[in-house]
A and B are shown apart, each in its own frame.
Chain A
Amino acid sequence: MTEYNFAYLDEQTKRMIRRAILKGLAIPGYQVPFASREMPMPYGWGTGGVQVSAAVLTPKDTFKVIDQGADDTTNAVSIRTFFQRTAGVATTTATSDATVIQTRHRIPEEPLHEGQILVYQVPIPEPLRFLEPRESETRKMHSLEEYGLMHVKLYEDISRHGHIATSYAYPVKVEGRYVMDPSPIPKFDNPKLGDMAAIQLFGAGREQRIYALPPYTQVVSLDFEDHPFEASKADHPCGMCGATDSYLDELIIDDLGGRMFVCSDTDYCEARQAAGHKGKDAA
C-alpha cells in the first residue's frame, strides 16, 4: 500500500482536521466548521467519522468500528477494511483492546478507559435544526445561549404522547453551556456521555462540523422537573447472554409473532457468552 498516504488523507488535510478537533476539545459541545473532504463512500455512511478517525490514527493504534453496536455489519466492515488497507493499523472487535473506536449510533456497553478515543458519525449536528431552519439564527441562539426552543420540542412530545417520546439523538447540555446533539445514539446511552474517561469526537461530513467532549465532561440530558429524563430500553433480558443491563435489539424470528431480544453490542454479548452466561434463546 504505497499509493495512499497513511490513513488515506494527505497530511495538510489531517492537520486542518486536527486543528478543528483541538478547538472542539477546547470548547466542549461547540460545533467547529471544517473543510470536509470528499471521501470514497457516500454521505450518510460516516464520511465525517472517517475523516476524524483518519486524523487521529497513528500506526501503533488498534482500531475498532461498530455500527449500531455490531462489529460485523456492512458499515462497520467496510470502514474497518478501509483503514486496514490505507493505514495498515491493527484492528480488533474487543472494546477494551481498541485505542480508537469509530461508532455509528451506539456507545459500547463496556466502560471505556483513559487513552481511548471514541469517534461518532453524525448525520445532523445541529440540535435546533428542525425547530429553527435558519442556520444564521441557530448560530446566534447558540452564541447567546437561547435554548428555550429546545424545551418546546420536549413540551410537544409530552403534550402529544404523554411522555418525552424522543428516544434517540436526545439533546444534552454540555458543562452548563452548549446544547449538543449526541448523534443518533439511543437515549439509553446518554448517561454514558458524561464523565467518560475516553475522548469523544463527533464528525459530520456533509454538514462540515466537528465537535468534541474532553474526558470527564459534565453532560446533562434536557428534561422537565415533572418529567425527568429516563434512559429507556426494552424491558427484557438478552436472549443470547441473559444480560439485563445492556441495550437490546428486537429481532422478528418468524411470521407467527415470534421475537427475541439480543444485545445490540455484539462484542459485549459474545464476551458474556464466552464467560458462560446463557440466555433463554441460546442454542
Chain B
Amino acid sequence: MTPLLSVQGITKRYGAHIGCADVSFNLYPGEVMGIVGESGSGKSTLLNCMAGHLTPDAGQVVFDTRTDGPRDTITMSEPERRMLGRTDWAFVHQHARDGLRMGVSAGGNVGERLMAVGERHYGDIRDKATDWLGRVEIDASRVDDRPTTFSGGMQQRLQIARNLVTGPRLVFMDEPTGGLDVSVQARLLDLLRGLVRDMGLSAIIVTHDLAVVRLLADRLMVMKSGRVIEAGLTDQVLDDPQHAYSQLLVSSVLQV
C-alpha cells in the first residue's frame, strides 16, 4: 500500500537553534497520527513544514496526489502546492481567528474554498455551506451571521466545516482543542472523531493534550527538543512508555 504522506528526514533550523531534526514517518490512508510533546519541542514547526507553511532545510514530504501519484510537495511549484492546500489538504489552526475570515458570514467562510476551486453557482454553494454547518452542529439559521458573533467552540467548528467542505484527504490540526473549556472540548472531539471515521480522513494532530490523542489518534509520536524520541501505537505508547521523557509526560497527566 502506498502511504498517503511519506515524510523523510525533515529538518528545520532557526539559525543555530534546531526547530525539528531528522523526522521520518509514513502515514497511510485513513490513519490518524498524533504528535505530542511539550511547548518548544518542535511539533508546530514539523506540522508547518509538512503543510507547506515553512520550507524545511532538508528532507522530503511526499504526498500521494490524486492525479500524478506520489510527489514531493517541497520541490513542487508554489501554485501546485497552494492548489493542494485548498483541495486535498486542510489546516485547522489552534485559534479559529487565524483560519477564518472574521468579516465574512459563516456561509461565505465555508463557501470560500468551493469558490476557490471554481464553483460558480450561488444556490449550490449555499446549500453545501448550510449542509456543512449542520454537520458541525451549527444551526442553519446562523448561516448569514459573522463568526465574531459565535462562541469559541462554534468558531472552531466553523473552521473545521470550512476546511472539510472540499472533501480533503489529509487534515493538519494544530492544537484543535486548545483554549476551549472541557465540555466544549469533549463535544468537538466527538464531532472530529465522527467526521474522521465517516469521511475516511487521514489526519495529523499536534497537541500537548494526551487525552486528545488517546481518543483520536491511531499512532503517536513523542517529540522532545526537535527530535522524535518514541513512536508507536497510541495505546502502546501511553500505557507502556519506554523513554524517560514519555514516562514523565504520561505520569504528569492530572487525574481527577
A interface residues (Cβ-Cβ under 8 A, vs B): 131, 144-146, 148-149, 151-152, 155-156, 158-160, 224-227
Contact = CB atoms under 8 A, between A and B. Distances in A.
Interface in B88-124: 101, 104-105, 107-108, 111-113, 115-117, 120-123
Given A149-B116, A151-B120, A152-B101, 8 more contacts: A152-B104, A152-B112, A155-B108, A155-B122, A160-B105, A224-B122, A226-B122, A227-B122
Max chain A C-beta neighbours (<10 A), residue from B79, B107, B120: B120
Contacts of A146: 82, 116
Contacts of B125: 155
A159 B120 CA distance: 15
Contacts of B121: 224-226
B115 A144 contact: no
A-B pairs with the 3 shortest C-beta distances? A148-B116, A224-B122, A151-B115
Contacts of A158: 122
Nearest to A144: B79
A59 to B, nearest CB: 48
B120 A148 contact: no
Contacts of B107: 155, 159
Nearest to B123: A226
Interface in B133-147: 143-144
Contacts of B117: 148
Contacts of A145: 79
B78 interface: yes
A28 to B, nearest CB: 21
A144 B78 contact: yes
Contacts of A149: 112, 115-116
A159 B144 contact: yes
A152 B122 contact: no
A156 B79 contact: no
A160 B116 CA distance: 21
B126 interface: yes
A148 B112 contact: yes
A225 B120 contact: yes
5 contacts: A144-B82, A146-B82, A149-B112, A149-B116, A224-B121
Residue of B79, B108, B120, B121 most packed against chain A (CB within 10 A): B108
B120 A152 contact: no
User: Which of A131, A145, A159: most chain B Cβ within 10 A?
Assistant: A159
A219 to B, nearest CB: 18
Contacts of A160: 105, 144
Contacts of B116: 146, 148-149
Contacts, number: 52
B97 to A, nearest CB: 15
A131 B126 CA distance: 20
Nearest to A227: B122
A146 B86 CA distance: 11
A44 B121 CA distance: 37
A78 B189 CA distance: 66
A159 B112 contact: no
Nearest to B126: A159
Contact of B104 (A156, A224, A225, A227): A156
Contacts of B143: 159
B1 to A, nearest CB: 33
Nearest to B112: A152
Given A159-B144, A224-B121, A227-B122, A148 B113 contact: yes
A269 B153 CA distance: 59
A131 to B, nearest CB: 8
A159 B104 CA distance: 11
B161 to A, nearest CB: 15
Interface in B207-247: none
Contacts of A226: 121-123
Contacts of A151: 115, 120
B105 A159 contact: yes
A18 B33 CA distance: 58
Nearest to A224: B122
Nearest to B113: A148
B226 to A, nearest CB: 29
A156 B108 CA distance: 6
Contacts of A152: 101, 104, 108, 111-112, 115
Nearest to B109: A152
Contacts of A159: 105, 107-108, 126, 143-144
Contacts of B105: 156, 159-160
A152 B117 CA distance: 12
A146 B83 CA distance: 9
